[in-house]
Amino acid sequence: MKYDYLIVGSGLFGATFAYCARQTGKHCLVIEKRPHLGGNTYCEKIEGINVHKYGAHIFHTNNKEIWDFVNSFVPFNRYTNCPIANYHGELYNLPFNMNTFTQLWGVRTIEEAKAKIDEQRAEALTSLNGREPANLEEQALCLVGKDIFYKLIKEYTEKQWGRPCTELPAFIIRRLPLRFVFDNNYFNDPYQGIPIGGYNVLINKLLEGIETNTNCDFFGEFKDSWREIADQLVYTGPLDEYFNFRLGRLDWRTVTFKTRVENTPNYQGNAVINYTSHDAPYTRVIEHKHFEMFGQAVYNCPKTVVSEEYSAEYKPGMEQFYPVNDERNNALADQYRELAAKEENVIFGGRLAEYKYYDMAPVIEKAIKTANIIFLR
């Protein structure tokens, strides 16, 4: 047998698993259908700037072990995500915090802000009449009330997910913090940043000394023959595709980007601006240099790269980005998971193969745990 593991996909799950396997002396081949390694973390250098080709990626975690793990390959910078929301030209700080409340209502004290939120929440809670919020709209109205919902959530969410908020699960909105302090840090996690030099440094270090093959589609080359070259398969591609869609297709949301170079050192003054009204067709505009350049460094680099992010329903041939965790898709994914559990010597891992809305740190954690379970057996 040539390899202990054939690993399909070079994103963070595949790369982390490959690293752990190599540490225990296992021999791996990583195949990747794209022309480059790194999955969705891949960055392309344009005008000296690392451009997040598959969407803005900000690393954040509350797990010190995972933070130490990634920092052992590459130090991370001090980037803190503080997106701004633009609603019909009005600017608001995110996540929802005292700055936002001041901008929305002119309130100055914590008491005033709490009173305003409570008054709005009360309206929503009354209409629920004691039952739990059943969808994102009800959940958001109960958490933050109608002013924030209509200006900062409703239209953005509908653009992002292509569905009315009444048809989306409540949990999506529980990801966003609500704070009564003047703190624009989008995440509550104690550890946050961007790898210095970009994510490609992290991926290349994880995969150092491991055989990799890009432009190589598992379904084109290995699906029926992989057992001839490897003992085990680690599959990080789409769950339904592995089974040739035999139970039906899972839905995904996809994202497309219009990226351009602007002839100015500082285009919008922030890495992320969310457009929370329907009049802008994109959900956000990313100015990539602000992830890695701070202070004078912004001006030392004379140009800038800007990406408009558009959200769309997935169609075959597009990139699968976000799982759509509604009832139909969750039930279908469960049926596929039952099939997956019966596959011998195959590990299904990561965002696509688990059909799970995963951030980077939990993906790394899951890959390490999966590897530990196998290698410490």
Nearest to 320 by CA among 250, 234, 271, 258: 250
Does residue number 218 form part of the binding site for ligand FAD (CB under 6 A)?
A: yes
Q: Is 357 a catalytic residue?
A: yes
Residue 321 touches which member of ligand UDP, ligand FAD, none, C-beta under 5-8 Å by kind: ligand FAD
Stretch that binds ligand UDP, among 156-164, 217-225, 228-236, 289-297 (CB under 6 A): 156-164
Token digits for 338? 């039952």
309 is catalytic: yes
Is 287 considered catalytic here? Answer: no
Q: Distance (Å, rounded) from C-alpha 4 to C-alpha 23?
A: 13
User: Which amino acid, 99?
Assistant: N
Q: What is the DSSP string of 53-72?
A: TTS---EEES-HHHHHHHHT
The token pair that represents 319 in the structure block: 């990139």
CB 236 within 8 A of CB 26: no
Exposure of 373 by Cβ count < 10 A (0-12 exposed, 13-18 middle, 19+ buried)? exposed
Q: Is 292 in the site for ligand FAD (CB under 6 A)?
A: no
CA pair distance 136, 125, nearest whole angstrom? 14
Buried-exposed string 112-122: b where 16+ CB fall within 10 A, e elsewhere: ebeebbeebbe
Instruction: Give the residues across from 309 on adjacent strands.
Output: 257, 284
175 binds, among ligand UDP, ligand FAD, none (CB under 5 to 8 A by kind): ligand UDP
Nearer to ligand FAD, 59 or 314 (CB): 59
162 binds, among ligand UDP, ligand FAD, none (CB under 5 to 8 A by kind): none
CB of 149 to ligand UDP, least distance (A): 8
Catalytic residue among 137, 138, 309, 365: 309
Instruction: Decide: is 173 part of the binding site for ligand UDP (CB under 6 A).
Output: yes
Residue 160 binds ligand FAD, judged by CB under 6 A: no
- Per-residue x/- marks for ligand FAD, 296-335, CB under 6 A? -------------------------xx-------------
Which among 13, 124, 65, 95 is positioned nearest to 367, based on CA atoms? 13
- Interaction residues for ligand UDP, span 71-110 (CB under 6 A): 85, 94
Q: Say if CB 5 and CB 230 are below 8 A apart.
A: yes
Is 328 part of the annotated catalytic residue set? no
Active site residues: 175, 179, 253, 284, 309, 357, 359
Which spans of this chain sit near ligand FAD (rule: CB under 6 A)?
8-14, 31-34, 39-41, 55-59, 217-219, 236-237, 255, 321-322, 350-352, 358-361, 363
